[in-house]
């Protein structure tokens, strides 16, 4: 199968053999694809190599050959965001999530749209925690494993004053008032869930309460192997950024 004029975002690129790259892209029409870019590390093909950097939006031609596609041509469609520090780590987290959770060759237009929005929010320097919580919500929805945030798993309206554990299979579960402080500290506030549902940034304390519950849901779908970006964030002491 030939793929012509397809647009997408570069998620990852690594060296393969002496002069080639293995490239992962999130394409608009074909979902996540693995591309073999032959000979791009030679000096004469520097413009093509420059277009195959993470976060870059490209247009490309390729030919499917089994699980991987052979890249025939690619060009940059814009200038990728130039990020540093925690924003760069957030971008790594973004790409790692898509690489680990998005299936190959399964078109997910909602995910491509969510990735594009998040990429521009990173470029604009918007608040990282809120930017990433919105993407996590949209990623789960695009993959078909999200859940209703206006009501709990039993259909009861979310109480802004209560706290909720996020069950990956059931949705929000309200914590009883006699639960220990440790369990309450890893539960989202009802106000935060309602704000996330409305795409309205919550107060700082409520926003912070979303991080661990959403991580638990993502961890369930990731399986036993966690994310390198989580390890990096922890080792750098940035526990409130991309995790």
CATH of residue 16's domain is: 2.40.50.140
Q: 69 and 175 share a domain?
A: no
- The total domain count for the chain is 2
Phi-psi region of 145 (alpha: psi -120 to 50; beta: other; left: phi over 0): alpha
In a domain? residue 183 = yes
Residue 167 within any structural domain of the chain: yes
Q: Establish if 240 belongs to a structural domain.
A: no
The answer to whether position 55 is within a domain reads yes
CB 223 within 8 A of CB 161: no
Q: Is residue 189 part of a domain?
A: yes
Q: Are residues 129 and 229 in the same domain?
A: yes
pTM as predicted: 0.92
Does residue 31 lie in a domain region? yes
Parallel, antiparallel, or unpaired: how do β-strands 163-167 and 171-174 relate? antiparallel
Residues 12, 94, single domain; the answer is no
Mean pLDDT (whole number) for 206-231: 95
Q: Are residues 99 and 165 in the same domain?
A: yes
Domain boundary among 43, 76, 109: 76
The two tokens of residue 33 are 């694809």
Does residue 174 share a domain with residue 146?
yes
| 216 shares a domain with 118 | yes
Phi and psi torsions of 37, nearest 5°: -105, 100
156 and 59 in a common domain:
no
Both 61 and 96 in one domain: the answer is no
Which pLDDT tens digit goes with each residue over 57-83? 999 999 998 889 999 999 999 999 999
Q: Are residues 135 and 206 in the same domain?
A: yes
Query: pLDDT digits over 145-194, tens only?
Result: 999 999 999 999 999 999 999 999 999 999 987 555 557 778 999 999 99
Closest CA to 34 of 108, 93, 99: 99
DSSP state of 104: B
The answer to whether position 64 is within a domain reads: yes
Which H or E run contains 36? Answer: strand 31-37
Mean pLDDT, rounded, for 92-101: 97
CATH number at residue 178: 1.20.1440.120
Strand 68-76 with 163-167, pairing: unpaired
Collapsing DSSP states into helix, strand and coil, what is residue 221?
A: helix
Same domain, 68 and 102: no
Residue 26 shares a structural domain with residue 128: no
Of 29, 44, 76, which marks where a domain is finished?
A: 76
pLDDT at residue 241 in the model: 43
Burial class of residue 171, CB neighbours in 10 A (0-12, 13-18, 19+): buried
Tell me what percent of the chain is helix, strand and coil, each rounded to the nearest 5.
40, 25, 35
Neighbouring residues of 140: CB distance < 8 A, sequence distance ≥ 6: 146, 147, 217, 218, 221
- Domain range for 43 is 2-76
User: Rounded CA gap, 168 and 218, in Å?
Assistant: 8
Among the candidates 49, 76, 103, a domain finishes at 76
Structure tokens at 95: 């790409």
């Amino acid at each position: 199968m030939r793929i012509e004029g397809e647009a997408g975002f570069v998620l990852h690129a690594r060296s393969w053999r002496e002069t080639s790259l293995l490239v992962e892209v999130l394409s608009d029409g074909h979902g996540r694809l693995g591309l073999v870019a032959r000979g791009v590390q030679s000096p004469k093909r520097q413009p093509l190599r420059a277009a195959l950097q993470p976060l870059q939006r490209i247009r490309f031609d390729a030919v499917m050959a089994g699980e991987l596609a052979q890249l025939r041509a690619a060009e940059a469609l814009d200038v990728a965001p130039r990020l540093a520090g925690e924003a760069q780590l957030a971008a790594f987290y973004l790409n790692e999530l898509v690489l680990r959770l998005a299936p190959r060759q399964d078109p997910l237009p909602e995910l491509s749209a969510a990735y594009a929005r998040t990429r521009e929010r990173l470029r604009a320097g918007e608040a990282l925690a809120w930017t990433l919580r919105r993407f996590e919500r949209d990623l789960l929805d695009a993959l078909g494993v999200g859940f209703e945030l206006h009501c709990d798993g039993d259909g009861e309206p979310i109480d802004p004053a209560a706290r909720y554990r996020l069950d990956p299979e059931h949705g929000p579960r309200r914590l009883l008032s006699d639960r220990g402080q440790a369990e309450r500290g890893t539960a989202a506030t009802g106000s935060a869930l309602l704000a996330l549902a409305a795409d309205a940034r919550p107060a700082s304390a409520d926003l912070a309460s979303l991080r661990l519950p959403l991580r638990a849901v993502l961890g369930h779908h990731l399986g036993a192997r966690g994310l390198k970006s989580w390890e990096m964030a922890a080792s750098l002491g940035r526990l409130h950024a991309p995790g």
